[in-house]
Amino acid sequence: MRNEAGAIVKWFSVSIDIEDRKSTEEEIRSTQTKLAQMGHVLTMGQLTASIAHEVNQPLSGIITNANTCLHMLAANPPNVEGARETARRTIRDGHRASEVVKRVRALFGKENAALEPVDLNEATREVIALSRVRFQETHAVLRTELAEELPLVNGDRVQLQQVVLNLIQNASDAMISVRDRPRRMVITTERDGNECVRLTVQDAGVGFERESLQRLFDAFYTTKSEGVGIGLSISRSIIERHGGRMWAALNEGPGAAFSFSVPIVAKDATCAGAAVPS
């Protein structure tokens, strides 16, 4: 009789354990589904902002160039040569806008990413040229230290330029409130080991709290009063998709430096496992 009672108790215990396990597994699956949905919403939000940013970049250049061209033609006498050069820049930015649309269509068409050898120095110079009005408005003093004979990197030119533009804009924003020192910005490129190239944008701005270093690249975290906190998150995602790495550091003096490292054109090259400078 005792054996039968023990067996019944054991059967109930096993049944309860199985039911608890099923309930736990259902809760885990439900949580995973909710997280996946949240991740999808976040990804689509980041993608939408990224597309808008990429399209706005060349369109801003087109508008600026068109206005400049009109002023040059309205001068007495007209600055025909300057207007001609400005028109060339307008055409260049028009092609860049078309390239962005083409790559977005490729993204939604599930085509392969447009990875190609990219001259990071040349790509950076184009972004600097596009940002010239920004430098004038914020009175930022720019110095470039672009390494000679820099190896080509393997990547999407437009996306890498988006990252560079975001870092320049952030550095510019960080110096807007500076009144007691020059608003200096330094953009450097250099070899990073044997398989990578590094780009750094350094500013003399307000910097950031050391405690926030680990959160700077989180989506929707921002130190700006009017920021939404997705620029650095998207930028880091782009760099990581390129097999690279992105980080930030405070300067010894005022300001901060933001850097990324991406692989050169070489089979299976990656910077993702490289040590990040402290």
In 10 A of CB 28, how many CB atoms?
10
Residue 195 CA to residue 237 CA, distance in Å, equals 20
Let me know whether 130 and 210 are in one domain: yes
Let me know whether 123 and 26 are in one domain: no
Q: Is the pLDDT of residue 203 over 80?
A: yes
Among the ranges given (6-10, 20-24, 40-44, 169-173), the one the predictor scored with the smallest mean pLDDT: 40-44
Domain-embedded: residue 18: yes
Contacts of 1 (CB under 8 A, 6+ apart): none
pLDDT in tens, 169-188: 888 888 887 777 878 889 99
pLDDT in tens, 47-63: 555 566 666 767 888 88
pLDDT of residue 37: 47
Q: Span 5-19, mean pLDDT?
A: 55
Q: State percent of the chain over pLDDT 90.
A: 17
pLDDT of residue 186: 93
pLDDT of residue 214: 63
Let me know whether 59 and 101 are in one domain: yes
pLDDT in tens, 125-142: 988 887 877 777 778 888
pLDDT of residue 250: 83
Let me know whether 4 and 88 are in one domain: yes
pLDDT of residue 109: 46
Among the ranges given (10-14, 142-146, 238-242), the one the predictor scored with the smallest mean pLDDT: 10-14
For the chain, the farthest-separated pair of C-alpha atoms sits apart, in whole angstroms, at 115
Q: Is the pLDDT of residue 107 over 50?
A: no
Higher pLDDT, 214 or 64: 64
Q: Span 58-74, mean pLDDT?
A: 86
pLDDT of residue 266: 75
Domain-embedded: residue 123: yes
Q: Is the pLDDT of residue 269 over 90?
A: no
Higher pLDDT, 106 or 187: 187
Let me know whether 150 and 222 are in one domain: yes
Let me know whether 3 and 107 are in one domain: yes
SS3 per-residue string spanning the chain:
CHHHHHHHHHHHHHHHHHHHHHHHHHHHHHHHHHHHHHHHHHHHHHHHHHHHHHHHHHHHHHHHHHHHHHHHHHCCCCCHHHHHHHHHHHHHHHHHHHHHHHHHHHHHCCCCCCCEEECHHHHHHHHHHHCHHHHHHHCCEEEEEECCCCCCEEECHHHHHHHHHHHHHHHHHHCCCCCCCCCEEEEEEEEECCCEEEEEEEECCCCCCHHHHHHCCCCCCCCCCCCCCCHHHHHHHHHHHCCCEEEEEECCCCCEEEEEEEEECCCCCCCCCCCCCC
0.75 surpassed by pTM: no
What CATH number is associated with residue 234?
3.30.565.10
Domain count, the chain: 2
Let me know whether 245 and 126 are in one domain: yes
Let me know whether 100 and 203 are in one domain: no
Contacts of 241 (CB under 8 A, 6+ apart): 113
Let me know whether 188 and 61 are in one domain: no
pLDDT of residue 228: 37
Let me know whether 123 and 52 are in one domain: no
Domain limits at 128?
A: 116-263
Let me know whether 127 and 179 are in one domain: yes
Q: Is the pLDDT of residue 271 over 90?
A: no
Residue at a domain's end among 112, 146, 175: 112
Residue at a domain's end among 112, 128, 153: 112
Q: Is the pLDDT of residue 261 over 90?
A: yes
Residue at a domain's end among 63, 78, 112: 112
Let me know whether 99 and 132 are in one domain: no
Among the ranges given (117-126, 201-210, 219-228, 244-253), the one the predictor scored with the smallest mean pLDDT: 219-228
